[in-house]
Structure 1
Amino acid sequence: MLRHQLLAGVALVGALGLPALPATAQTQPRAPDGAVQEDIVVYGKGETRQVQTLTAADISAAAPGTSALKVLEKLPSVSFQSANALGTNEWSTRIAVRGFTQNQLGFTLDNVPLGDMSYGNFNGLHISRAIASENIARSTLAQGTGSLDTASSSNLGGTLQFFSKAPEDVMGGDVEASYGSENAYRLFGRIETGDLGGGVKGYVSGSWLDSPKWKGQGKQQAWSINSKLVVPLDTRGSISAFVNYSDFKDDDYMDTSLALIKKYGWDWDYIRNDYPTALAIAKNLQSDLVNYTGYCAKYPGYSQTICADDTYYNGYGLRKDLLVGANLDYKFSDTVSIKLTPYFHRNRGIGTWWTPYTPTPGGAALSIRSTAYAINRGGATGGLTFHFGDHQIEVGGWFERNGYTLTREFFPLANSNVSSIDNRQWPENPFYIQYQYDMTITTGQYYVQDTWQVTPDFKVTAGFKGLDVKIVNKYDPVSQASAASRDTSGTLESKKMFLPQVGLNYSFSNAVEAFAGYAENMRAYTTEPFVTNQAGFQAIQGKIKPETSWTLEGGLRFHLPNFDGSLAGYHVKFSNRLLSVQPCAIVVGCASVLSNVGSVTTNGAELAGTYHLTHALSLYGSYAYTDAQYDDDVLSGQVWATKGKQVVSIPKHLANGEIAYDDGSIIARIAANYQSRRYYTYTNDASVPGRVLVDFALGYRFHDTGSALDGLEIQGNVTNVFDKKYVGTLGQNGFAFSDPGGTLQSMLVGAPRQAFITLRKKF
């Protein structure tokens, strides 16, 4: 708590005290050569909502390959969790903003929708697969609500927009090699064409990652190709096109619980190096399935008694993605312009688990249970902009058609001393198909907005959008489960054609401005309602409602000679919350179904500021208070007292502090991130404690014109410097109403201290 108070105090002093300095025109500190130092955080000057942007300078200071989501955790109200140091393990990666979790936020890359980026995403892909972090120019977070033209059907809360780098004007390239803990290494290279004539230019890059897990067996392997081409259209605009491909293979970390951590320690994981014991556990479990009591036994090589579900053999995920898109930006005249982004995305993915509950017929006591995904989606986003006097009117929309297939299969394993299917291998010839759903998802969104510059100092934005998402599901007869039990063929539609948004911005001077905004949003249904039995789907069809929210926010921004910062407060009402519950008394007995279970009220405040002591040295601090509470008790077998309880997995206090130095040659950063206690039960009877994590970076750039060293950079990164043991991700297998024994196996521990060394060369 003391450390939390200190960090919060730094942010508070920076955000509240420094604006008292004389109000003058904003000037950035300049390096000795006259170049303006690139800011770490840009505070959204002139915006009518809470907005901050991180630049490429901040991404490059992290260890190569670090997820762009992890880099964003320094911004106020952002809570990020992962089981690996780079934040790229998708099963464990979670981000939350202002009380909304990842699948309630919106994400885009160069205006292409990425869906909600959840694991096994049905309508997009994770940013770590969409583009290499070295090719990201900036990342913009709108904590409260995204702009009306953001292509998202999930953003009850904020949006994250990623933008790729533009090609260089001069032919050249970049190469990068990194080596770190657990013998991890990563290679990256980019070739710039330079100006090919008439302003046409482009680049092609490739990356390779081989990162063994920090505990247990297995690794993360990934390679990608990114390419971009820009073609000017006279002086009126340009077309930029990109083709990105990713091949991602990831051995997961095993889900754990507080009880398992207490029993086995922080390093307990899958036993992928011990197939015979995994078989023995499965055999013992199956002998006890009739009267399941959590069969426990002693196994050779283990000092403790191992119970069923204490460990499994393995689990991994495979993903292949092709993402193609183009951005047309064209000005017909001084008053009319257009932006258009057509795109196509194809994905094939699978998640696996060696299950002891389903033996292979005539084979091993284990089998592999898999969930396979296939996405084929195409669409376009865009809009027209008209300038009339003091008004800028925008009209546009988004259309997408997505063919999505979801399959649950079981694959055979031979009765041998080693697994007959290798990890990171796509299994073939299932002995049982539990279900296969073929869905057609059609999304349509429109928006209209007027930006009125009432006076030189006062701006008003007002508009609205409409969203219509229709999912048509067909139960594929290839499934071997009876149609009566798994056939959830049918249609669900999320439709709300008037979602208003209004914002204000007033500049008191060049140094201080105020902003305020109100917005309404809807989150369309996902595929979750269909993944149940027939009775469960029929019970909710036509009865559940899509989740909605409204957000009211306001604040101040400061742009002083050596200080930039913001102060904001907000109020959010989240309605029609969806949760799978048993909507009757336990003595009556009824199946669990997806239901609307009430609302959530969130109040919060955010402070952030950057102070430039010199052209090279800066201090950054942020603090966020998030009070997110359930408004209703919930009936699920019994009435659970959730009213007034804190929302699961959301820390009430978040704070960051960072010291950064960059004089063009020496680069150094030390950053601390604090998160307070998080609950993982709806009644708040179980939680994980808060933690402070410290990261460090130190590097040097060589400037020896004419020598081989010119353009060379060496950088070292250390994450979790003090080797803090802590629980990272919560809820990847859902949350519980109560967990007095700490047995809910739905959390992952964070990575210990990890170190990386990197060489970069620009030529």
Structure 2
Amino acid sequence: MPHDKIRSRRFAGLTGLSLAALAAGLSAPAWADESGPGKDTDADTVIAEGSDIIVTGTRANEIAPVTASLHTTEPQAIVSRSFIEDSLPATADFNQLALITPSFTSTGGDGGMGISESKGQLRGFQDGEYNITYDGVPFGDTNDPTHHSNTFFPSNTIETVVVDRGPGNASNLGQATFGGSVNLFSRATREDMGADVRASYGTNNTWLIRPMLQSGAIKALGGTEVLLGGQYVHTDGVRSYAPYHQLNLFGKAVIPIGPDVKLTLLSTYNKNHFNQPDNDGPTLQQVQDYGKHYLLNNDPTSSQYWKYNYTNKTTDFELVKLEADIAPGVRFENRAYTYFYNNSTYTAADTTVEGGTVYTAAALGATSRTSADGLPGYAKLNSYRTYGDIMKAMVQVTPWAKITAGGWIEWNVTHRKRYEYDIAAGGYGNWNYNQKYTGTDGKTHYTYINYDQDSHGNQEQLFAELELQPISGLKITPGFKYLEFTRSISAIANQKTHLPAHFSESWHQSLPFLTANYMVTNNLSAYAQYAKGFLAPPLSVLYNIDPSNNTVKPQTSDNYQVGMVYHGSHLSIDADYYHIDFNNKFANKTVDGDKVFYNLGGVVYEGVEGQITYAFNNGLALFVNGSLNDAKDKDTKLQVAKAPKGTAAAGVLYKHGPVKFSLIDKYTGVQYADDANTPGYRISPYHNTILSIGYDFGIFAVEGTVSDLFNSEKVTSIDINDGPAGDITGNDQYHFQPGREASISLKAKF
């Protein structure tokens, strides 16, 4: 296969071309190039989105599950659609898609792969400390930029995943340009008409159906291409009495408007219903009595009764993207978007107490909170709508210099509340509904209202970067970003204080960037990066009586990274070293009865990462990747909580003719559930091995997948509620690998 570099495409716009086609060095059809409106586009005419995807046409890159771009300026891992489709269960969430990459780990997901929510960690940075984007749009919760892995974008809506392990350039946008970015890219439209349906059935009565229809290029509409798809999932769940249902609808249209302008419209809708307490996970006592997969029961006298604990989630995401070449060497892009999240949860207040025990008024503290016996629970609502617009323009100033500049505005409106009630009575009932008291503000408050608040978030980011090519093969890109972030609360009962609140706080930050990439040869490059990262304070810094006592500043990081990428005819290698100095760690203390937020200390993240793939001539490939990751508190010199000390992945893949086969394994190293590295909270290393075998008959194809092949059910995380560590009588909640799951899929293509 040739080593010629194929025409560069930005993956933020390259939703129409699979990595396999890119890596094969094939001539790309017109529909594939969504970064250039209606025509092939060279790398120098594409607006930066933080991930330059340029690969060479080699056997290794064609079959590799993970690779990196020769033109990257920071450590990177690109996960192909073919790997997602051929080697992972159809129910996998986006954390599972990224899990194969170096330094990425995932916890949660106890109920099965993609069935219950998981949380990703990148180099030890927790969810909310790095960005997740979809088609270049950062998304996340409005109280902090955390994510729900099975709520917005199931795997049927994702073409490719690019994990950038660093803040990127100045053009890389988000609330958490801190630990890196997990960039998801939407499914591609195609030039040819077609349809496919996937149906699967597996362990725990899990079944899925996934249709997808491609209109092809509609000549009557100027070559418009439309993609419509959907997915329905049902499962009884791995854990006891924990069924799950998911419906997803997805639509996308790519509309050429003349030879130099293109419009993309995208919408996805998701609805989930599942039975699970708000704070899930069995205690050690429950594990001893009922097993590792205990969650709920069928006893109406127990707080763990499954009908008392359930959640409905509804989301949507809409995007309008305009791309235009408005003059030679001048390109403009605009993304207007909105997304919605609604979480309605009904749950027992505490499911860690053994089933069958009815709480009494005396045990609950009847003098202040209750007037009768009952089972304490609460109804929780978290509902928000976010609006935003991202505008970018690129101007080629000279043959060796171009400027990219733009801005991002975003605002959100959120309503959050939690009302307590007797779950056994099926409503607010007779307990604590009419209980009221006079607060320190002299006003009357109702005990059953834990919190009821409206909040708003507004942010603006402006950036500019200058890409210079002083000599052939060398690109140096200095950049600068300025941002402002405002949070406000208007509450009849604020969270934590339970008092009325009308607060607002603003922060701003200036961030410098400097990256470089040097093409040593046409298949070997080296890169270096300095970048300052940023993480906005969460809404919880306004959960106090008087926020003017706060001195908290945004968390920042100084990132230093160097690395190399090599793409040979059969061998693909990349490796890097990173050093991240994280400052302004959020902390709080109680002063005169009020919780005050401030900054204290930080963490030093340091490590090495690498990945290698070797491809033989017969469609067989071997790959391995890994990382050594330190994340040590500056004061204690101990590894911070939930930060594995290393990762590794390895596997064999075979794809030739109608046969495909893969066996992959992901290793997550030792970690601790607490910052003190308490021996009782040490989480041992664990593996997850996935086997997939498929055969394509032409119109029909069949595939079998087994995840957690060796049935590992080790602890992945611990929610610390009380001590001592590892005590069977304690209320700490444990999360385990879900164990072996098998499924068989039938695919039909038309």
Give the alignment's TM-score, normalised by structure 1.
Answer: 0.81
Give yes or no for the alignment of 1:334 onto 2:350. Answer: no
SS of aligned partner of 1:473: strand
**Alpha-carbon distance change, 44 to 86 in structure 1, aligned in 2, over 3 angstroms:** farther
Query: What SS does the aligned partner of 1:182 have?
Result: helix
3-state DSSP of counterpart to 1:276: coil
Does 1:714 pair with 2:714?
Answer: no
Q: How does 1:80-159 map to 2 (within 5 A)?
A: 80-84=106-110, 87-89=113-115, 92-115=117-140, 126=148, 128-159=150-181
Report the secondary structure of 1:528's partner residue. Answer: helix
Per the alignment, residue 739 of structure 1 pairs with 725
CA distance in 2, matches of 1:611, 1:353: 50
- Structure 1 residues 128 and 38 mapped into 2: Cα distance closer, same or farther (>3 Å)? farther
1:39, distance to aligned residue in structure 2 (A): 4.2
For 1:129, what is the secondary structure of its paired residue? coil
Alpha-carbon distance in structure 2 between the residues aligned to 1:79 and 1:94? 8
Distance 1:123 1:101 in 2: 11
Deviations 1:564-584 (A, max 9, x none): 12110010111111144558x
Q: Output the CA distance in 1 between the equivalents of 2:724 and 2:514.
A: 41
1:45 aligned onto 2:39: no
* Correspondence 1:314-325 to 2 at 5 A: 315-325=309-319
Alpha-carbon contact 2:615-2:622 (below 8 Å) kept: yes
TM-score, scaled to structure 2? 0.82
Corresponding position: 1:455 with 2:441 = no
Q: Which secondary structure does the structure 1 equivalent of 2:198 belong to?
A: strand
Aligned residues: 656
Match of 2:559 among 548, 551, 554: 551
TM-aligned CA deviation for residue 84 of structure 1: 3.6
Determine the C-alpha separation between the residues in 2 that align with 1:257 and 1:270.
6
Percent of aligned pairs with the same amino acid: 19
Partner Cα separation in structure 2 for residue 737 and residue 554 of structure 1:
42
Summarize the alignment of residues 264-413 of structure 1 with structure 2, pairs less than 5 Å apart.
264=289, 266-267=291-292, 269-278=294-303, 315-355=309-349, 365-388=374-397, 389-413=399-423
CA contact (8 A) 2:276 2:306 kept: no
Q: Secondary structure at the match of 1:275?
A: coil
Contact 2:127–2:147, Cα closer than 8 Å, also in 1: no
Q: Is residue 129–residue 145 contact of structure 2 (8 Å, CA) maintained in 1?
A: no
Query: Does the 8 Å contact 1:453/1:460 carry over to 2?
Result: yes
Aligned with residue 657 of structure 1, among 644, 650, 671 = 650
Q: 1:550 to 1:372 in 2, by over 3 A?
A: same
* 1:346-376 Cα distance to aligned partner (Å, 9 max, x none): 2221233212559997776114313211112
1:248-283, Cα deviation, whole Å (9 max, x unpaired): 12323764477436633643533331122449xxxx
TM-fit CA distance, 1:725: 1.8
1:522-576 superposed Cα distances (whole Å, 9 cap, x missing partner): 111222223x3526x4542xx1112111110001111111111211001011111
Q: Distance in 2 between matches of 1:699 and 1:595?
A: 55
Flag the 1:62–1:549 CA change in 2: closer, same or farther, 3 A.
same
CA contact (8 A) 1:630 1:644 kept: yes
State the match for 2:43 in structure 1.
Answer: none
* Offset, 1:113: 1.9
- In the alignment, is residue 572 of structure 1 matched against residue 580 of structure 2? yes
Alignment of 1:148-547 (within 5 A): 148-197=170-219, 198-252=222-276, 255-256=280-281, 259-260=284-285, 263-264=288-289, 266-267=291-292, 269-278=294-303, 315-355=309-349, 365-388=374-397, 389-415=399-425, 432-476=448-492, 479=493, 485-496=498-509, 498-530=510-542, 532-534=543-545, 537=547, 539-540=549-550, 543-547=551-555
In 1, the alpha carbon distance for the partners of 2:565 and 2:739 equals 37
Q: Quote how far apart the aligned CAs of 1:86 are.
A: 5.0
Look up the equivalent residue of 2:77 and give its one-letter code: Q
What amino acid maps onto 2:114 in structure 1?
T
What is the alpha-carbon distance in structure 2 between the residues aligned to residue 246 and residue 158 of structure 1?
26
Cα distance in 1 for residues equivalent to 2:204 and 2:496? 48
Assess, with a 3 A threshold, how the Cα gap between structure 1 residues 50 and 515 changes in structure 2: closer, same or farther: same
CA-based RMSD? 2.9
Q: Structure 1's 224 and 485: CA in aligned 2 closer, same or farther, altered over 3 A?
A: closer
Quote the residue 1:296 is aligned against.
none
1:102-143 superposed Cα distances (whole Å, 9 cap, x missing partner): 11010111122212x6xx866686454333412312111111
**Paired residue for 1:752?**
739
How big is each residue's C-alpha offset from its partner over 1:185-236, in whole Å with a ceiling of 9 and x where there is no partner?
Answer: 1111111111211211101111111122212102111101110011012221
CA distance in 1, matches of 2:127, 2:372: 40
2:662 corresponds to which residue? 669
* Displacement after TM superposition at 1:431 (Å): 9.0
2:98 to 72, 76, 84: 72
> Is the Cα–Cα contact under 8 Å of residues 350 and 371 in structure 1 kept in the other structure?
yes
Give the drift of 1:594.
3.8
**TM superposition shift of 1:26:** 5.1
- State how 1:672-711 maps to structure 2 within 5 Å: 672-685=665-678, 686-703=681-698, 710=699
User: What residue is the counterpart of 2:712 in the other structure?
Assistant: 724
Q: 1:147, CA displacement in angstroms?
A: 3.5
Render the CA deviation track for 1:53-74: whole Å, top value 9, x for unaligned. 1111111121112112212111
Q: Distance between the aligned counterparts of 1:71 and 1:345, measured in 2?
A: 22
Question: Does 1:29 find its partner at 2:17?
Answer: no
Contact 1:485 1:534 in 2 (8 A): no
Query: Contact (CA 8 Å) 1:363, 1:413: kept in 2 or not?
Result: no
Q: Which amino acid aligns with 1:514?
A: A
- Show the counterpart of 2:45: none
Q: Assess, with a 3 A threshold, how the Cα gap between structure 1 residues 522 and 324 changes in structure 2: closer, same or farther.
A: same
Q: Is the 8 A contact 2:143 2:539 kept in 1?
A: no
Distance 1:370-1:85 versus aligned 2 partners, 3 A rule: closer
Following superposition, the deviation at residue 150 of structure 1 comes to 2.8
**Alignment correspondent of 2:609:** 606
Distance 1:414 1:629, change over 3 A: closer
C-alpha contact 1:665 1:702 (8 A) present in aligned 2: yes
Contact kept, 8 Å, 1:245 with 1:321, in 2: the verdict is yes
Distance apart, 1:343 and its partner CA: 0.6
| Equivalence for 1:282 | none
Does structure 2 conserve the Cα–Cα contact (< 8 Å) formed by 1:63 and 1:86?
Answer: no
Stretches of structure 1 that go unaligned for 5 or more consecutive residues are 1-24, 31-35, 280-310, 422-429, 584-588, 633-642, 704-709
CA 1:368/1:668 → structure 2, altered by over 3 Å: closer, same or farther? same
TM-superposed deviation, 1:412: 4.3
AA aligned to 1:562 is H
Shift of 1:391: 1.2
Alignment check: 8 A CA contact 1:48 1:461 kept: no
Deviation at 1:411, TM superposition (A): 3.8
What is the CA distance between 1:513 and its match in structure 2? Answer: 1.3
User: Cα offset for 1:745?
Assistant: 1.8
How far off its partner does 1:593 sit?
4.5
Following the alignment from structure 1 to structure 2, what is the Cα–Cα distance between the partners of residues 212 and 345? 29
> Relative to structure 1, is the Cα distance of residues 111 and 648 closer, same or farther in structure 2, using a 3 angstrom cutoff?
same
1:62 — aligned with what? 88
Counterpart Cα distance in 1 of 2:145 and 2:207 = 31
Question: Structure 2 stretches of 5 or more lacking a match?
Answer: 1-54, 350-358, 429-445
Which residue identity does 1:239 align to in structure 2?
L
CA contact (8 A) 1:724 1:752 kept: yes
| Contact map agreement 2:63 2:621 (CA 8 A) in 1 | no
Distance across 2 between alignment mates of 1:361 and 1:440: 33
Distance 1:176 1:581, change over 3 A: farther
